[in-house]
């Protein structure tokens, strides 16, 4: 076991994802902003997380709520300005928090000056910064590639007589990463943010950066199950438009840059890749810790919430990662239904114990710590273009305003956010920070206990993992150990009491965290788990 003080920060921290639009509105326009976030840094620092991942704040026409970037080196006035962002970096650092920003590498907004130039005419020096292609003889798109958000991935540009590629919306043209000028321009963007003090990047859509230069058609999908049902896009095997083998040398270059631009403090590359096989996912760590520091691991989100299935995912991660690679887990994001909506409140508590005691960097999605749930947004009130284009696939439900208090607009904003953005979930009367802070049995108290324990326990931060076979049915038990320190984690996924005689090495210990407020009790040989109970036990 390596010495933990030599480990990079991103191995021992807990990340917290902030969907900026929905976190805290300071200027009263109904939309979350940087000033609002600044005001909540104290909350985040005392929560016990150590890094913030901030979704896009760049100038944007907001067709994809900031993931359509019109200027990578600026702040959209809706969110604040550069000096507020600088203050945020300073305040975060002052409070021991790292700042990871979202960088969308795959595409820009159609309003980005690069694309405005590119579409002017075929001779424009920026033409080749995007992916343009001639129509087929019959005028149809160059191939059968599909947009994730529905329809063809190609948009016809009448004036210049060619199609351009957009993996997402037509307002989000794909950059041509095979052009060295594009790569250089994006490195320049990263230098800018690193100089400003940013500690790492969530590299959005990293999976899509390189495509087949021959633009070959994708074959139809194999009958094997897709990651999740996202409509026609799932009906193709994405052989040629994503996960291209040339991603590996590109990731090596990006990693080399992140490690060496400020060698005294290497920056993190945390890459977004969906729908990969395990082998493909692990391949993006590189051959020798030389590609992404961590490809984000969404696998627990797409797994049936059962003890055996969850254990299988964890042990797949444990067995497939080389010794030098570091695991990570997330149970929610702004692109997916919320955790408690998927598994229910009681199991949401089990999930919290799991996430914060596994070996690997956890990422908490804002509001998860109070058990926020998805809100049903009627189609006519939907904001997310994906949902508007493909009913049922909208992501608004998981993006409603953060619930700070039981009072008006959940103290998210002085204005009613429904008029400008999304409504506050009516469950904020119970599900909110202020009420939960003072209740010992609340979800928030459970998160705070777990975060405090993790931050102060080497075995949970960096210790080994071992799955334990003596767990009763529907339960998942594991051991985390570092030197002489040993922790037993016992999770009951069943809605029934489970009883288990503990083998000798495991039957003496003190309960440090329980989903059922059984802290400070000693284990006495026989472990009885209440229904939906999770425990963290320090073994003697």
> Which residue is nearest to Ca ion, using beta carbons?
33
Q: Does 291 bind ligand GLC (CB under 6 A)?
A: no
Q: From the list 205, 209, 372, 539, which residue makes contact with ligand GLC (rule: CB under 6 A)?
A: 205
* Contact partner at residue 272 from Ca ion, ligand GLC, none, CB < 5 to 8 Å by partner kind: ligand GLC
Q: Containing H/E element for 85?
A: helix 82-94
CA-nearest of 513, 514, 506 to 478 is: 506
Q: Which is nearer to Ca ion, 36 or 142 (CB)?
A: 36
In the DSSP assignment, the letter for residue 268 is E
Cα–Cα dist 377/383, whole Å: 9
Q: How many CA atoms lie within 13 A of 512 on its CB side?
A: 23
Q: Does 204 bind ligand GLC (CB under 6 A)?
A: yes
Q: Does 67 bind ligand GLC (CB under 6 A)?
A: yes
Strands 268-271 and 294-295, by their bridges, are parallel
Q: Which is nearer to ligand GLC, 55 or 347 (CB)?
A: 55
In the bound complex, what is the minimum distance in angstroms from residue 534's beta carbon to ligand GLC? 29
- 370 touches 436 (CB < 8 A): yes
Residue 440: burial class (beta carbons within 10 Å; 0-12, 13-18, 19+): exposed
Q: Does 173 bind ligand GLC (CB under 6 A)?
A: no
**Residues near Ca ion (CB under 5 A), total:** 5
Question: What would the x/- binding string for Ca ion be over residues 19 to 58, using CB under 5 A?
Answer: ------x-x-x-x-x-------------------------
In the bound complex, what is the minimum distance in angstroms from residue 131's beta carbon to ligand GLC? 16
In the bound complex, what is the minimum distance in angstroms from residue 67's beta carbon to ligand GLC? 3
Question: What would the x/- binding string for ligand GLC be over residues 119 to 158, using CB under 6 A?
Answer: ----------------------------------------
Cα–Cα dist 183/129, whole Å: 10
Cα–Cα dist 236/218, whole Å: 6
In the bound complex, what is the minimum distance in angstroms from residue 335's beta carbon to ligand GLC? 5
Q: From the list 289, 335, 345, 416, which residue makes contact with ligand GLC (rule: CB under 6 A)?
A: 335
> Which residue is nearest to ligand GLC, using beta carbons?
67
Q: Which is nearer to Ca ion, 149 or 412 (CB)?
A: 412
Q: Which is nearer to ligand GLC, 172 or 442 (CB)?
A: 172
Q: Containing H/E element for 513?
A: strand 509-514
- Cβ neighbours for 88, distance < 8 A, ≥ 6 positions apart: 34, 37, 38, 41, 99
- Cα–Cα distances (Å) from 246 to 133, 253, 312, 325, 366, in that order, read 20, 11, 30, 21, 34
Cα–Cα dist 23/292, whole Å: 28
Give pairs for 70-74: CB < 8 Å, separation 24+. 70/108, 70/109, 70/111, 70/112, 70/113, 71/112, 71/113, 72/103, 72/108, 72/186, 72/189, 72/192, 73/189, 73/192
In the bound complex, what is the minimum distance in angstroms from residue 119's beta carbon to ligand GLC? 19
* Contact partner at residue 27 from ligand GLC, Ca ion, none, CB < 5 to 8 Å by partner kind: Ca ion
Q: From the list 33, 76, 241, 272, which residue makes contact with ligand GLC (rule: CB under 6 A)?
A: 272
CA-nearest of 182, 186, 170 to 72 is: 186
Q: Which is nearer to Ca ion, 78 or 479 (CB)?
A: 78
Instruction: Name the residues that contact ligand GLC, by CB under 6 A.
Output: 64, 67, 104, 168, 172, 204-205, 272, 334-335
Which residues of the shown chain bind Ca ion in the complex (CB under 5 A)?
25, 27, 29, 31, 33
């Amino acid at each position: 076991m390596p010495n933990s003080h030599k480990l990079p920060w991103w191995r021992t921290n807990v990340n917290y994802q902030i969907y900026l639009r929905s976190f805290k509105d300071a200027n009263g326009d109904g939309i979350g902003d940087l000033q609002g976030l600044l005001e909540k840094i104290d909350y985040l620092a005392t929560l016990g997380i150590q890094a913030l991942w901030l979704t896009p704040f760049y100038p944007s026409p907001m067709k994809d709520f900031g993931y359509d970037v019109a200027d990578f080196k600026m702040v959209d006035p809706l969110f604040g300005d550069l000096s507020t962002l600088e203050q945020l970096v300073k305040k975060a650092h002052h409070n021991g928090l790292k700042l990871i920003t979202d960088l969308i590498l795959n595409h820009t907004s159609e309003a980005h000056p690069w694309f405005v130039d590119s579409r002017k005419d075929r001779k424009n020096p920026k033409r080749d910064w995007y992916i343009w292609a001639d129509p087929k003889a019959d005028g149809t798109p160059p191939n059968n590639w599909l947009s994730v958000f529905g329809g063809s991935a190609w948009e016809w540009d009448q004036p210049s007589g060619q199609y351009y590629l957009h993996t997402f919306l037509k307002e989000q043209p794909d950059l041509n990463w095979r052009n060295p000028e594009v790569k250089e321009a994006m490195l320049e963007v990263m230098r800018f943010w690193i100089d400003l003090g940013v500690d790492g990047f969530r590299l959005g859509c990293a999976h899509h950066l390189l495509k087949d230069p021959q633009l070959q058609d994708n074959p139809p999908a194999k009958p094997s199950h897709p990651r999740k049902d996202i409509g026609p896009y799932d009906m193709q095997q994405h052989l040629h438009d994503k996960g291209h083998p040339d991603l590996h040398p590109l990731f090596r270059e990006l990693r080399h840059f992140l490690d060496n631009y400020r060698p005294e403090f290497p920056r993190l590359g945390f890459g977004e890749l969906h729908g990969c096989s395990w082998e493909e996912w692990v391949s993006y760590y590189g051959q020798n810790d030389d590609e992404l520091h961590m490809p984000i691991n969404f696998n627990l989100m797409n797994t049936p919430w059962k003890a055996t299935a969850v254990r299988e995912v964890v042990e797949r991660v444990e067995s497939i990662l080389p010794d030098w690679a570091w695991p990570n887990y997330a149970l929610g994001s702004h692109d997916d239904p919320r955790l408690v909506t998927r598994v229910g409140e009681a199991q949401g508590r089990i999930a919290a114990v799991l996430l914060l005691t596994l070996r690997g960097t956890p990422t908490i999605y804002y509001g998860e710590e109070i058990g926020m749930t998805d809100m049903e947004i009627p189609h006519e009130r939907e904001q997310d273009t994906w949902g508007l284009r493909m009913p049922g696939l909208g992501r608004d439900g998981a993006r409603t305003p953060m619930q700070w208090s039981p009072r008006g607009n959940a103290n998210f904003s002085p204005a009613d956010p429904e008029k400008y953005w999304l409504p506050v979930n009516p469950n904020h009367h119970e599900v909110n920070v202020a009420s939960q802070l003072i209740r010992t049995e609340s979800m928030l108290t459970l998160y705070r206990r777990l975060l405090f324990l993790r931050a102060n326990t080497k075995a949970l931060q960096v210790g080994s993992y071992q799955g334990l076979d003596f767990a009763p049915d529907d339960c998942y038990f594991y051991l985390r150990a570092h030197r002489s320190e040993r922790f037993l984690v016992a999770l009951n996924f069943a809605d029934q009491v489970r009883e288990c005689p503990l083998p000798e090495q495991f039957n003496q210990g003190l309960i440090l965290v329980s989903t059922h407020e059984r802290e400070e009790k000693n284990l006495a040989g026989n472990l009885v788990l209440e229904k939906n109970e999770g425990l963290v036990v320090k073994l003697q």
